[in-house]
A and B are shown apart, each in its own frame.
Chain A
Amino acid sequence: MSYIKPKFEHPRAPKNELGFTRKEYEGSLSTLCAGCGHDSISAAITDACFELAIEPHKVAKLSGIGCSSKTPAYFLNNSHGFNSVHGRMPSVATGANLANRDMVYLGVSGDGDSASIGFGQFAHVIRRNLNMTYIVMNNGCYGLTKGQDSATADHGSKSKSGHVNNFEGIDLCAIAIELGATYVAQSFSGDKNQLIPLIKAALSHSGFSFINVISPCVTFNNNLGSTKSYDYVREHNEALSTLDFVPVKEEIVTKYDDIEVKFVEMHDGTYIKLNKLHPEWNPEDKLSIINALQVARQKDEILTGLLYLDNNSIELNDLIGTVKTPLNTLTEKELCPGSVVLDGINASLR
């Protein structure tokens, strides 16, 4: 078995605006099972960061526990990383984000990590609108501990051992929308054309971005009867939209009066071009999408694409007015401004 990736790359490997090739954004060789959906998501994250030309040292990747939470080792080797306790990634992300808002925060988690042990943390990081991208690699099971049903396993889904799940599955996207997430998308690890632009848009969004990616566990949950297998997801995938990510500098020349196509300006000045495949749905209207999710559930469809977007929210740091300077660069001068300032404060409290 190979443990080391060859250092060679394609001699004509494209370079991004920073002059980096994709190699600069790759991680170590994965130790996940061959064919795991999580590896495809790692590759999509690599591609998204490469294409956005994010400086790798400006990214903090955070995770909890699980096969999914191991993946930060397999992408962005030149970035910062924190592998936290099971289900506790949101706390660490919140702390880090408040201490330094200059970084790009990318959390990856599993359905076990987020929908079971970390469900409380998941809820609170959403309602606080922390400025981060939160990706759940959702395989409907606890892969790392050998495939027990997780809380996102669908009612009636059959496990590899033949056991049928009798509990309702948690719909993480519906929950996220309900709790006030300001960017919510759903995708499939086997569809990079859809996933990469979704990740790019999420990274460009100001506020909490959530992407639920169905990611088959080849070893424990890719069997007939499972609703998270490659075959099942491909058959039941219903794309609501396709999405193109348009970088800042690119000019939009074509005029679309067609209602099916919509340009949405992101916080950082980039655009996303939404090609709506279902005209009755509006990504800026919560009600329509909650409705769409319910209807899809009845029809056994998996809705994918950008589900919901609120571009006018205020992210946590702005909401509570934290200092703009990263804490680690504040000096004694700013932190201990002296007796004059103290006297002023005291006077204001009299």
Chain B
Amino acid sequence: MKPTNYKDPEYFHKVVDCQYACPAHTPVPHYIRLIAAGKYTEAYMVNWESNVFPGILGRTCDRPCEPACRRGRIEEEPVAICRLKRVASDFKDDIQQYLPEIPKTKNGKKIAIIGAGPAGLTVARDLAPLGYELHIYDDQGKGGGMMRSQIPSFRLPDSVLDQEVNVILDMDVIKHFNQYVTSLKSIVDEAYDAVFVATGAPKGKDLPNLPGRWDAKENIHIGIQWLANVAFEHTNKIGKRVLVLGGGNTAMDCCRTSRRLGGEEVKVLVRSPFKEMKASPWEKEDAMHEDIPILENHVPKSFISENGKLKGMFFEKVKAEYDEKGKRKLVPTGEPDVFIEADDVIIAIGQENRFEWIEKDLGVEFDEWDMPVVNETTFASTREGVFFGGDAALGPKNVITAVAQGHQAAISIDLYCHSKDINERPGPGVTLISTKMGIHEWSYDNGVSNDIRFVVPQADKKITLADRKKEVELGFDLKTAFKEAERCLNCDVQTVFTEDKCIECDACMDVCPTQCINFTENEDEQDLRAKLLIPAMNQDQDLLVSDVLKTGKVMVKDEDVCLHCGLCAERCPTAAWDMQKFMYNTAKAGC
């Protein structure tokens, strides 16, 4: 193999598993160390820079970082990255003084943002400090999009949402709320320099052809609409027996909300096996904790009603079979259909986009699935000056993805408004700095904590089920937060090897607790992987390969389960290993 090129920022970026997995590339270990140091406001601002909604995301993020966390590869559970983010938010001081200044004199460019969800707000946040005149349109009365209309208050209190949304709206953003945009043409006809479409995926899927669907329609609800009605207080009760159809996170929010509006026997029915449900494991756990059974392998057959009043539903029982390619098929078990009684049914089986307000002759192309044709890097549509982001761009995902796409779209809009090529993307800001403080002293806490993951305490179920707005999770206290933060392995403190210092004494190889380090003859990557002390099977993780050493061997380090403990560097007599802090900041608009 060729020697590893440290100059390529992507090499070490990939080693920081959590940051790499985060769509917005939040520097996770960096803010976790700040939390451990008691610097909550700084930790919050590091997050705010990168993911815009630390308090919201610290409660609701889909957390793609956690399955990626290295800790999960060396023991059972990853670091509670998400809930540590909430700690930064819960314990921060006033952040006003750290917010960017908004120029009084604008730069003469006018931008329309349609949709005030996380994608739209991110674009506003990124462009406002650059002096843009920003007009934001939304049919709701307040900003937040689905974070307000869908995510229930028992998971995300209004106060947290309001605070983080208002920080952005207060950046001189001109609000056109309670205004549904019925024509994109009417917007582009106004003198906007660019338009950002961030209207989400607001339509809930229905089962229009299921027998009996329209017989008792007062008691059959579409999940998304129903949740919005609850959020905006148009709905405040539901029957005692509730069936929720669907296995995603919307279904989990519907069933748990039902429990709070009078549902006593709430059941979730999923077509698939339990383990293949789309909902996150923690959402399923929380639902079951609230006495909501999840019945797997139940396919809805028909609604049964009497005199316009819903009685219940029939379900067919199926089992999953898989072909050689692992593709799933649900086949009937042959058992008689099951009847389950119900006063209300909530259909929570997915969302769709809604673009009938975009005229077909504007030059904004749509594909065969009626989705806009959008460049996945620049988020440009096929019409110049019109950009898409969030659920409206590439289909429903989550808040952090909407934020990440918002950042990219903001860069494009800024480049576009300055007549620059939007395909020439600005690179990340990268630094690599030694943490050495003395012979064996580092500026980070290199000791590896043996603690297992701490559980976030929850409020008493009696209280939370009685009050829809009472937040269930209480968040870590500071003592626990510190211990949880100490579980972080500091994957951004990199092991940097300098071949001409190495005397090949083997000390680093001998001390490495996970046997990552090898001195061996060079080979092709796959041969090298196979012959290491412990073969490097995880192909997603790179090998760090040195240039040829004095004896003709090379140093090869498998990054896979390196603990970043620094023992190699401590035991190295010549400082051929150094522990260097790697900082990777994705580019923002205007940088």
Nearest Cβ distance between residue B306 and chain A, in whole angstroms? 58
| Residues in B468-514 with C-beta less than 8 Å from chain A | 503-507, 509-511, 513-514
- 26 CB contacts below 8 A, A to B, read A1-B439, A1-B441, A2-B440, A2-B565, A6-B448, A6-B450, A7-B450, A8-B74, A8-B448, A9-B514, A12-B534, A13-B515, A13-B534, A14-B534, A29-B511, A34-B573, A35-B571, A36-B507, A36-B573, A39-B507, A43-B506, A192-B506, A218-B505, A230-B504, A230-B505, A234-B551
A53 to B73, CA, bound (A): 27
Those 9 A-B pairs whose CB atoms lie nearest each other, nearest first: A35-B573, A1-B440, A6-B448, A43-B510, A35-B505, A34-B573, A10-B514, A34-B571, A6-B513
Nearest Cβ distance between residue B564 and chain A, in whole angstroms? 10
Residues B563 and A8 in contact, CB atoms below 8 Å apart = yes
A40 to B514, CA, bound (A): 16
Q: Mark B411-451, 1 if CB is under 8 A from A, else 0.
A: 00000000000000000000000000001110000111010
Residues A4 and B447 in contact, CB atoms below 8 Å apart = yes
B574 within 8 A of A: yes
B572 within 8 A of A: yes
Residues B573 and A33 in contact, CB atoms below 8 Å apart = yes
Q: Which residues of A contact B504 (CB under 8 A)?
A: 190, 230
Residues A5 and B567 in contact, CB atoms below 8 Å apart = yes
A30 within 8 A of B: yes
Q: Which residues of A contact B74 (CB under 8 A)?
A: 8, 11
B126 within 8 A of A: no
Picked from A4, A42, A216, A231, the residue with its CB within 8 Å of the CB of B510 is A42
Q: Which residues of B contact A9 (CB under 8 A)?
A: 513-515
Point out which of A4, A10, A189 has the most chain B C-beta atoms below 10 A from its C-beta.
A10
Picked from A2, A8, A12, A40, the residue with its CB within 8 Å of the CB of B505 is A40
Residues A2 and B534 in contact, CB atoms below 8 Å apart = no
**B569 nearest CB neighbor, chain A only:** A34
A10 to B515, CA, bound (A): 7
| Residues in A239-271 with C-beta less than 8 Å from chain B | none
| Residues in A1-48 with C-beta less than 8 Å from chain B | 1-2, 4-14, 22, 29-30, 33-37, 39-40, 42-43
Nearest Cβ distance between residue A181 and chain B, in whole angstroms? 27
Q: Which residues of A contact B574 (CB under 8 A)?
A: 35
Secondary structure of the A side of the interface?
Answer: loop
Picked from A8, A14, A37, the residue with its CB within 8 Å of the CB of B514 is A8
Residues B447 and A2 in contact, CB atoms below 8 Å apart = yes
Q: Mark B373-401, 1 if CB is under 8 A from A, else 0.
A: 00000000000000000000000000000
Residues A30 and B571 in contact, CB atoms below 8 Å apart = yes
Nearest Cβ distance between residue B167 and chain A, in whole angstroms? 41
Nearest Cβ distance between residue A28 and chain B, in whole angstroms? 11
B537 within 8 A of A: yes
Q: A8-B75, A40-B507 are in contact. Are A1 and B513 (CB under 8 A)?
A: no
Residues A35 and B537 in contact, CB atoms below 8 Å apart = no
B253 within 8 A of A: no
B68 within 8 A of A: no
**B439 nearest CB neighbor, chain A only:** A1
Residues B566 and A2 in contact, CB atoms below 8 Å apart = yes
A42 to B75, CA, bound (A): 27
A75 to B516, CA, bound (A): 19
Given contacts A11-B73, A39-B507, could you give 4 more A-B pairs where the C-beta distance is less than 8 Å? A2-B566, A6-B448, A10-B516, A230-B505
Q: Mark A123-166, 1 if CB is under 8 A from B, else 0.
A: 00000000000000000000000000000000000000000000
Residues A190 and B506 in contact, CB atoms below 8 Å apart = yes
Point out which of A12, A36, A189, A218 has the most chain B C-beta atoms below 10 A from its C-beta.
A12
Interface size class of B (residues with CB under 8 A): 35 or more
Q: Which residues of A contact B503 (CB under 8 A)?
A: 35, 218, 222, 230-231
Q: Which residues of A contact B330 (CB under 8 A)?
A: none
Residues B506 and A216 in contact, CB atoms below 8 Å apart = no
| Residues in B529-544 with C-beta less than 8 Å from chain A | 534-535, 537
A9 to B441, CA, bound (A): 23
Point out which of A11, A29, A189, A231 has the most chain B C-beta atoms below 10 A from its C-beta.
A11
Q: Which residues of A contact B295 (CB under 8 A)?
A: none
Residues B534 and A39 in contact, CB atoms below 8 Å apart = no
**A4 nearest CB neighbor, chain B only:** B447
Nearest Cβ distance between residue B106 and chain A, in whole angstroms? 54
Residues B511 and A39 in contact, CB atoms below 8 Å apart = yes
B570 within 8 A of A: yes
B340 within 8 A of A: no
B561 within 8 A of A: yes
Q: Which residues of A contact B550 (CB under 8 A)?
A: 234
Q: Which residues of B contact A29 (CB under 8 A)?
A: 511, 567
Q: A1-B570, A2-B446, A11-B74 are in contact. Are A35 and B507 (CB under 8 A)?
A: yes
Q: Which residues of A contact B446 (CB under 8 A)?
A: 2
Picked from B506, B515, B535, B563, the residue with its CB within 8 Å of the CB of A40 is B506
Nearest Cβ distance between residue B431 and chain A, in whole angstroms? 25
**B449 nearest CB neighbor, chain A only:** A6
Residues B448 and A39 in contact, CB atoms below 8 Å apart = no
Nearest Cβ distance between residue B488 and chain A, in whole angstroms? 13
A13 to B535, CA, bound (A): 10
A189 to B510, CA, bound (A): 12
**A37 nearest CB neighbor, chain B only:** B505
Picked from A6, A34, A190, the residue with its CB within 8 Å of the CB of B572 is A34
Q: Mark B205-223, 1 if CB is under 8 A from A, else 0.
A: 0000000000000000000
Q: Which residues of B contact A7 (CB under 8 A)?
A: 448, 450
Residues B514 and A2 in contact, CB atoms below 8 Å apart = no
Q: Mark B61-73, 1 if CB is under 8 A from A, else 0.
A: 0000000000001
Residues A8 and B506 in contact, CB atoms below 8 Å apart = no
Q: Which residues of A contact B573 (CB under 8 A)?
A: 33-36, 218
**A230 nearest CB neighbor, chain B only:** B503
Q: Which residues of A contact B572 (CB under 8 A)?
A: 34-35
Q: Which residues of A contact B441 (CB under 8 A)?
A: 1
Nearest Cβ distance between residue A22 and chain B, in whole angstroms? 8
Nearest Cβ distance between residue A308 and chain B, in whole angstroms? 27
**B551 nearest CB neighbor, chain A only:** A234
A110 to B565, CA, bound (A): 31
Q: Which residues of A contact B506 (CB under 8 A)?
A: 40, 43, 189-190, 192
Residues B551 and A39 in contact, CB atoms below 8 Å apart = no
Nearest Cβ distance between residue A238 and chain B, in whole angstroms? 16
Picked from A5, A34, A231, the residue with its CB within 8 Å of the CB of B507 is A34
Nearest Cβ distance between residue A35 and chain B, in whole angstroms? 3
Q: Which residues of B contact A37 (CB under 8 A)?
A: 505
A11 to B541, CA, bound (A): 15
Nearest Cβ distance between residue A194 and chain B, in whole angstroms? 13
A22 to B537, CA, bound (A): 19
**A234 nearest CB neighbor, chain B only:** B551
Nearest Cβ distance between residue A138 and chain B, in whole angstroms? 16
Q: Which residues of B contact A35 (CB under 8 A)?
A: 503, 505, 507, 571-574
Q: Mark B195-206, 1 if CB is under 8 A from A, else 0.
A: 000000000000
Q: Which residues of A contact B565 (CB under 8 A)?
A: 2, 6
**B509 nearest CB neighbor, chain A only:** A43
| Residues in B47-83 with C-beta less than 8 Å from chain A | 73-75
A33 to B507, CA, bound (A): 10
Q: Mark A185-208, 1 if CB is under 8 A from B, else 0.
A: 000011010000000000000000
Nearest Cβ distance between residue B449 and chain A, in whole angstroms? 9
Residues A40 and B534 in contact, CB atoms below 8 Å apart = no
